Amino acid sequence: MKKLLLAAFIFGLCSPAFAQDLSGWLTNLPQSKGYTQKRASSYDRSGGNADYRQIAPHETLVLMDEAGPGMVTHIWTTMWTNSPTPLKALVLRMYWDNESTPSVEAPLGDFFGLGLGDYFVYQSVPLDVAPNRALNCFFPMPFQKRARITLSNEGSGEIQSFYFNIEYRAYAKPPAGDLLYFHAQYRQATPNHGWTNQWQSNGDKIVEDKKNVNGEENYVWMEATGRGHFVGVTMSVQQNQDGWWGEGDDMFFIDGAITPSIAGTGSEDYC
């Protein structure tokens, strides 16, 4: 039986001016800063070494709830648990400025690029997974009035030890510039119907001769309204049919366009 799971996690980011400037980091160290560096953490408030939190099934842990203006600059987590699927069971949500619905809502693993629920080590500028289950996010996330970040255990197993550090800047007044809010959108299809399963190899005519100029039956990565920047997507695929699942061109339809404003050469090439 064919089964195709697609999980797409979409990032929207604040102004590029506030992205990490790795080349100028050392040069800018002597300059005075207009913020106070702070951290929301799971550290042991008693002064001991039990620097973790337990998260029971159906329990929500508040990772951060701070007044603004400010900017989250780094999120780090790791955990120990015998829960079978913690990266899917834990759901991360972020709320900016007292909004009623989250700007970020995704399984913890998908947020950090681990879409199939397993750990693997990788490194990129905004996200990386280090050994020993260390998850890192460096996306800048500004807020004006309040930042609230939660983690809900929506599985059946307890998370015995969850560790986290959230680094953020606290400003006396909002930074200059037109800062946009960070958003992330998660979706999946299990199974995803595709447009055919009647193929045996990548070169089959049914694949090679398939025409698609308007995105009909495409898997939707993101659908959003408003003003902002599209930053990227992580997509994870699990397939129970031999052969290549891809060749679907990535397409971006902007401001109601009928034909794609951007068209790529296939999901296997997209980066």
Give me the pLDDT at residue 10, please.
53
**Residue 153 belongs to a domain:** yes
- Backbone torsions φ then ψ of 206, nearest 5 degrees: -65, -25
Predicted confidence at residue 190, as pLDDT, reads 83
Q: What is the pLDDT of residue 17?
A: 38
What pTM did the predictor assign? 0.87
Residue written as tokens 């080590």?
Answer: 121
pLDDT in tens, 167-203: 999 999 988 889 999 999 999 888 887 777 777 777 7
The confidence score (pLDDT) of residue 245 equals 63
Look at residue 199 in the predicted model and tell me its pLDDT: 75
CATH number, domain of 72, equals 2.60.120.1390
Mention every residue, 6+ apart, whose C-beta is less than 8 A from residue 43.
51
| Angle, vertex CA 116, rays to CA 112 and CA 120, nearest 5 | 60
Q: Which domain holds residue 44?
A: 33-177
Asked whether residue 237 is assigned to any structural domain, the reply reads no
Structural domains in the chain (count)? 1
* Residue 246 resides in a domain: no
Q: Evaluate whether residue 48 is within a structural domain.
A: yes
In a domain, 47, yes or no: yes
Helix %, strand %, coil % of the chain (to 5) = 5, 40, 55
188: alpha, beta or left, given left = phi > 0 and alpha = psi -120 to 50? beta
Does residue 241 form part of some domain?
A: no
Residue 57 domain-assigned (yes or no):
yes
Tell whether 219 is covered by a domain: no
The Cα–Cα gap between 82 and 76 comes to 20
Model confidence over 30-40: pLDDT tens digits? 888 899 999 99
* pLDDT digit string (tens) for the chain, length 271 residues: 333 444 444 545 433 334 455 667 788 888 888 999 999 999 999 999 999 999 999 999 999 999 999 999 999 999 999 989 999 999 999 999 999 999 999 999 999 999 999 999 999 999 999 998 999 999 999 999 999 999 999 999 999 999 999 999 999 998 888 999 999 999 988 888 777 777 777 777 887 788 888 888 888 888 988 899 898 888 888 877 776 666 678 999 999 899 999 999 888 788 7
* CA pair distance 90, 109, nearest whole angstrom: 8
